Homo-oligomer: A and B are copies of this chain.
Amino acid sequence: MQIARRTSDIRPFHVMEILARAQALEREGRDVVHMEVGEPDFPTPPWVVEAALAAIQGGGVKYTPAAGLPELREAIAAYYGQRYGVRVEPRRVFVTPGASGGFLLALGLSVEPGAGVALADPGYPCYANFVRLFDGVPHLVPVDAADRFHLSWERVSHYWGGGMRGVVVASPANPTGTLIEPGVLRELIGFVQERGGFVVSDEIYHGLEYGAASPTALEFSDEVCVVNSFSKYFGMTGWRVGWVVVPEGLVAAAERLAQNIFISTAMPSQVAALAAFAEENIRELERRRGLFRERRDFLWAGLQELGFGIPARPEGAFYIYADCGPFSRDSQDFARSLLEETGVALTPGLDFGKHRPEGFVRLCYTAPLARLAEGLARIGGFVRGGPGG
């Protein structure tokens, strides 16, 4: 069988190579500090577990409506009112198999073959691959610390024209953890919409901010697709439940698409997600957010002390994008050597785009403080030991 061309444009993640090597080292008995995987280390909270157990017992696990359990759609819609003061009709909310399913819907609804889509570089690599899946053309727009690593209308305007049809924005951002300024987001949405383009806003790290909270793109326009998930703030990765809010005019099309490409999202996971909005659960999540903030502060200070550059303050998610230029001219080489010599796993910049990836590595603070301290000590020994890489 021949492979569709789109697929050969989709590259594997380099972090997978790092992860596989880290696991091989562990099988050999080495202790590995994992700072490469963007998965919170906390278990699913007990109230959420209880709700899922109750739903499963007796075996009544059936298809739900394609757009999700009505009570879950209502809870998500209500969350926009509570958290952002934004009115969202439940009919605009589609529950999906993870945020991944949300991107399938949002970009399947938006991307024509050949259409250009602007993406921040560095950025989350899957955006470009979702665009390729629908035979669109990802345009990687270089962003820097001066932009807080975010798109802006000025940046995008240099690339607009020539078939450009939309943008994906993401704040807090992966890999940098930086937040887009509300005014910058508002102007970017305005710029794109004036040109008839589409906006998809990835808000999966909302709730994991350590200073000011992020605004939702829905505060500035109803004519955007907003993707979110229960994986990060709600800490429910393995359950695979996300959602997308679509403009009113896309509701019918989203419904048809969801019926065809999902049928529905796993029912136990949806019931679990509904329980995640309970007050006592939100208290626990806020406690965890406090722990993430401590880790961020610790790692941020410690890396700078060792001589890493962190050009834009990471204010959300659980990532630090650190300039390893003082120690190596090749971040992939740096990451490999660090893993072999010290057993610390992190992700080379190459996974996040083409704009100076050789200068950066991403570190996740999804491990307890003691493990981060151990990792930092090993990194310190490594970079002080010589030129590295």
Task: Please list the residues of chain A having a beta carbon within 8 angstroms of any beta carbon in chain B.
Answer: 1-8, 10-13, 16, 39, 43-46, 48-49, 52-53, 56-64, 97-98, 100-101, 103-104, 108-113, 125-126, 129-130, 133-135, 196, 198-199, 223-225, 236-241, 247, 249-250, 252-253, 255-257, 259-269
Contacts and interface: CB of A to CB of B under 8 A. Distances in A.
Contacts of A60: 43-44
Contact of A256 (B7, B264, B265, B269): B7
20 contacts: A1-B223, A2-B198, A3-B249, A4-B111, A6-B134, A7-B253, A10-B257, A12-B252, A16-B259, A43-B59, A43-B60, A44-B59, A46-B59, A61-B238, A97-B265, A113-B113, A113-B135, A239-B267, A266-B266, A266-B268
Contacts of A238: 61-64, 264, 266-268
Given A7-B108, A61-B239, A266-B240, A260 B126 contact: yes
Nearest to A136: B4
A108 B6 contact: yes
A220 to B, nearest CB: 14
A210 to B, nearest CB: 24
Nearest to A6: B108
A62 to B, nearest CB: 4
A85 to B, nearest CB: 23
B130 A261 contact: yes
Nearest to A265: B240
B46 A256 contact: no
Q: How many copies does the complex hold?
A: 2
Contacts of A269: 266, 268-269
A60 B253 CA distance: 36
A261 B62 contact: no
Contacts of A253: 3, 7-8, 10
Contact of A129 (B10, B237, B260): B260
A259 to B, nearest CB: 6
Contacts of A125: 260
Given A46-B59, A53-B56, A97-B97, 19 more contacts: A1-B199, A1-B223, A1-B225, A1-B250, A6-B108, A12-B255, A39-B63, A45-B59, A52-B56, A52-B268, A56-B268, A63-B237, A63-B238, A100-B261, A130-B260, A133-B257, A134-B134, A239-B268, A240-B267
A247 B8 contact: no
Contact of A4 (B2, B110, B133, B240): B110
Given A6-B108, A52-B268, A256-B10, A262 B97 contact: yes
A199 B2 CA distance: 11
A14 to B, nearest CB: 12
Contacts of A2: 110, 196, 198
Contacts of A7: 108-109, 253, 256-257
> A52, A64, A268 — which one has the most chain B CB atoms within 10 A of its CB?
A268
Contacts of A46: 59
Nearest to A8: B253
Contacts of A100: 260-263
A115 to B, nearest CB: 8
Nearest to A240: B266
A60 B52 CA distance: 13
A364 B351 CA distance: 48
A360 to B, nearest CB: 21
